[in-house]
């Protein structure tokens, strides 16, 4: 397989993906209210699916909650995110909480 085939395949796959996702927008199509109600849950579900394993597992092994600075730091970080609705303050709180808990837990 030569390099041009790989680039051509990637280009065609990208074009197919882009057109499948953007065509409804260009045609002015919107999902029904019933589908839109379910689509609101997609982003939080994806975030939870990515975040929870990284908080609870290390190299595939369970970390006890009281020895897990990432999990413990996520609690005040979530509170700051809920109260402030600010990505900046949430990031500062998360970094500070993780640094303090990592130092404290050793």
Query: Does residue 77 lie in a domain region?
Result: yes
In a domain, 17, yes or no: no
Kindly state whether residue 64 falls inside one of the protein's structural domains. Answer: yes
Task: Write out pLDDT tens, residues 43-101.
Answer: 999 999 999 998 898 888 888 888 889 999 999 999 999 999 999 999 999 999 999 99
- Residue 20 tokens, joined: 């499948």
Query: Residue range 9-17: average pLDDT?
Result: 94
Three-state DSSP class for residue 61? strand
Predicted TM-score (pTM) of the model is 0.59
Say how far residue 7 (Cα) sits from the centre of its chain. 29
Tokens of 100: 């303090």
**Domain-located, residue 84:** yes
Helix, coil or strand: residue 14? helix
Residue span of the structural domain in which 87 resides: 48-105
| More confident position, 92 or 106 | 92
CB 31 within 8 A of CB 39: yes
What is the spatial distance between Cα 74 and Cα 55, in angstroms, rounded to a whole number?
Answer: 8
Q: Identify whether 91 is part of a domain.
A: yes
pLDDT at site 31? 84
- The domain total for the chain is 1
């Amino acid at each position: 397989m030569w390099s041009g085939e790989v680039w051509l395949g990637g280009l065609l796959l990208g074009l197919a993906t882009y057109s499948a996702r953007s065509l409804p927008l260009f045609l002015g199509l919107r999902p029904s209210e019933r589908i839109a109600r379910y689509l609101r849950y997609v982003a939080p579900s994806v975030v939870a699916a990515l975040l929870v394993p990284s908080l609870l597992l290390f190299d595939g092994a369970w970390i006890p909650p009281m020895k897990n600075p990432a999990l413990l730091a996520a609690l005040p970080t979530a509170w700051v995110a809920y109260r402030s609705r600010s990505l900046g303050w949430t990031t500062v709180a998360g970094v500070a909480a993780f640094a303090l808990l990592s130092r404290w837990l050793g």
